[in-house]
Amino acid sequence: MIQLFNVTKSYGKENVALREMTVHIEKGEFTYVTGPSGAGKTTFLNMLYGACKPTRGQILINGINITRMSGRQIPYLRRKIGVVFQDYKLLNSRSVYENVAFALEAQGKKRYEVSKRVYKALKEVGLEHRLQRKPIELSGGEQQRIAIARALVVEPLILLADEPSGNLDQEVTLEIMELFKRANARGTTVLLATHDHSLYKRFPKRVLGLEDGRLIMDHQP
């Protein structure tokens, strides 16, 4: 499903975020990406949905080399991928409903289908009563859950979640993990970047450990 070959990403000359990373992730796998702050977790995920291109190396998703992808094709790649951004990236000028519906509308889904699926996704993260609010009128954890709902509503082939529980209390974190596991059970490949040791102790899965841009650990439970 996801194959990286010798991927290096550097910003400027000496600022290397990822070094010679080679990793294969199977379809339907659930993988944690861990490492200290600044290790390159976000950079790794960013490259998978085409937000930045590797400086060297190749990335294949579903057998397609996305490093050679043109700007025209990237939207179609992104439609297969749900992303929970570390900084949420919600539109403060739009309601919660619109924020989530956006991901479906961008794919040209019918209005009726959109509203049904958005409602379901918001219900799953426990925010169906916040439909008409603006994200800025929500608490940090609620915003994070909106971002999760937006990533899941498209029923993606791949889910990239960057620190999805940083602002959530333990209880909600467990609920969210249930959601991820359910999506995973339906066949979605999940990559979850986190610092939270307790998370992968409680739900043991494959763990990729990064440090200073290097893959220093690849641990299968």
Partner 1 sequence: MLDNISYFIRRALRNMRQWPVLCSAAILTMAVALATMATFFLVVINIQGLATSWSEEVQVVAYFQYPPAGNQLAPLIRKVEAFADVKQAIYITKTEALKRFEARLGDDAGLLEGVSRDLLPASLEISLKSGSHNREGVARVVAELKKDSRFDDLRFGQEWLERFENFVDLLKFVGLVLGSFFLLAALFIVSNTIKLTLYARRDELEIMALVGATKRFIQIPFLLEGALQGLASGVCALGFLTLAYKLLLQKSLQTFWLTPVGFDPIFLNGNQQLILVLCGILLGSLGSLVSLRKFVRL
Ligand X SMILES: Nc1ncnc2c1ncn2[C@@H]1O[C@H](COP(=O)(O)OP(=O)(O)OP(=O)(O)O)[C@@H](O)[C@H]1O
For the record, the structure tokens of 145 come out as 């859950």
Task: Choose, by CB under 5 A, the member of 55, 73, 93, 139 that binds Mg ion.
Answer: 139
CA dist., res. 66 & res. 63, Å (int): 9
* Nearer Cβ to ligand X (43/189): 43
Report CA Rg, the chain: 17
Task: Choose, by CB under 8 A, the member of 4, 18, 44, 162 that binds a second copy.
Answer: 162
We find the least distance from the C-beta atom of residue 131 to ligand X, in angstroms, to be 12
CA dist., res. 158 & res. 20, Å (int): 23
The sign one gets for the Cα dihedral 48, 52, 58, 60 is positive
Residue 139 in the binding site for ligand X (CB under 6 A): yes
Sole window of 98-106, 185-193, 199-207, 210-218 interacting with partner 1 (rule: CB under 8 A):
98-106
Closest CA to 161 of 139, 135, 188, 137: 188
DSSP state of 136: G
Site string for ligand X, 152-191 (x = CB under 6 A): ---------------x------------------------
Which SS3 state, helix, strand or coil, does residue 109 take?
A: coil
Q: Following CA atoms 177, 183, 184, 185 in sequence, which dihedral angle do they give, to the nearest 10 degrees?
A: 110
CB 179 within 8 A of CB 211: no
* Nearer Cβ to ligand X (114/207): 207
Sole window of 52-60, 84-92, 169-177, 200-208 interacting with partner 1 (rule: CB under 8 A):
84-92
Binding site for a second copy (CB under 8 A): 11, 35-39, 41-43, 86-87, 137-142, 144-145, 162-163, 166-172, 195, 197-198
Point out which residues bind ligand X (CB under 6 A). 11, 15, 17, 35, 37-43, 86, 137-142, 167
